Structure 1
Amino acid sequence: MSQGNLTGRKVLVVEDNYLQAKTIAEALADHGAEVLGPFPAPEECLPYCVRDQIDAAVLDVKVGEADSFPVADRLVREDIPFIFLTGYDRNIIPRRFKGVPHYLKPFVGQDAPAAVALVMALRRRTRVPD
């Protein structure tokens, strides 16, 4: 599974950079994924963040003036695996997401299928404080 077989998997993408979003979405689709999005704003994707709608997600940490942490919280509650993308230091990501894999930007879109397949295989679980 070096490139990530995502056949039949639904992967949500939240990314506001058009070229980055397009590259990631195309790479995921090339490996069999059905891509939801890319969404350029976190609030637009929240209705899709439920277990029966998606299998995994790729979240840019900073999306315009907002961040994707509300989306990440929803994914954690729904037990949906995801990865973060960021051009910032890891410290920008809240401690509650310490177990979530993150990749530095610029992210090579062709790496997306392997990263998503890996997080799905590991089924990383994070805990949201009560």
Structure 2
Amino acid sequence: MIPELIGRRILLVEDELLISCLLEDMLEDLGCMLIGPASGVDQALRLVAGEAIDAVILDVSLDQQLSYPVADALVARGIPFLFSTGYDRDRLRDGYRSFAMLQKPFHPSELAKVLAGLFAGTRLLPSAA
């Protein structure tokens, strides 16, 4: 476990059940406290507005919706987040290409590194290859 991650409240925004379960296990193994998961934009926005959240793992595509309204809300609130996506970085919306991103599938150690970077103030980390 990485000490900076223990007890951190992480909102998981992911619509694929299997991926969500895998990420939940990864977060638990890192010592994080899971918020959610949220499987859609509206549910995620409600959790962002109503929960104490340290960081967010945000899937770009949620049940045929893009998650940019959630990203906008997170930026407005100053909540760090990373995009979790199967897309390349150049497919992210302009203005969000410099944000932390992990390309699916990724290893738990990559998730730990990016989350720790978020808490250290690093929002841009190389995507997983």
Contiguous gaps of at least 5 residues in structure 2: 125-129
Which residue is equivalent to 1:32?
31
CA distance in 2, matches of 1:43, 1:113: 27
Q: Structure 1's 91 and 4: CA in aligned 2 closer, same or farther, altered over 3 A?
A: farther
Give the letter aligned to residue 46 of structure 2. Answer: P
Q: Structure 1 pair 108/38, CA: closer, same or farther in 2 (3 Å)?
A: farther
After superposition, give the CA deviation of every residue in 1:4-38 in whole Å (9 maximum; x if it has no partner).
Answer: 64122100011111121111111112222111122
1:12 aligns with 2:39: no
2:75 paired with 1:76: yes
Q: In the alignment, residue 76 of structure 2 is paired with which amino acid?
A: R
Q: How far does residue 50 in structure 1 lie from its aligned partner after superposition?
A: 4.7
Q: Which residue of 2 aligns with 1:115?
A: 114
Which residue number corresponds to residue 97 of structure 1?
Answer: 96
1:54 partner amino acid: I
Q: How far apart, CA to CA, are the structure 2 residues paired with 1:119 and 1:23?
A: 21
Q: Secondary structure at the match of 2:83?
A: strand
Q: Distance in 1 between matches of 2:108 and 2:40?
A: 19
Q: Return the alpha-carbon distance in structure 1 between the equivalents of residues 17 and 51 of structure 2.
A: 27
> Equivalent residue of 1:49, what SS?
helix
Distance 1:89 1:59 in 2: 15
How far off is 1:44 after superposition? 0.4
Q: Could you tell me how far apart the structure 1 residues matched to 2:30 and 2:86 are?
A: 25
Alignment identity in percent? 35
Unaligned runs of 5+ in 1: 126-130
What is the DSSP-based 3-state SS (H/G/I as helix, E as strand, rest coil) of the residue aligned with 1:103? strand
Match of 2:127 in 1: none
Instruction: Mark the CA change 1:65 to 1:104 in structure 2 (over 3 Å): closer, same or farther.
Output: same
Does structure 1 retain, via aligned residues, the 8 Å contact 2:89–2:97? no
Runs of 4+ displaced beyond 6 Å: none
**TM-score, normalization by structure 2:** 0.83
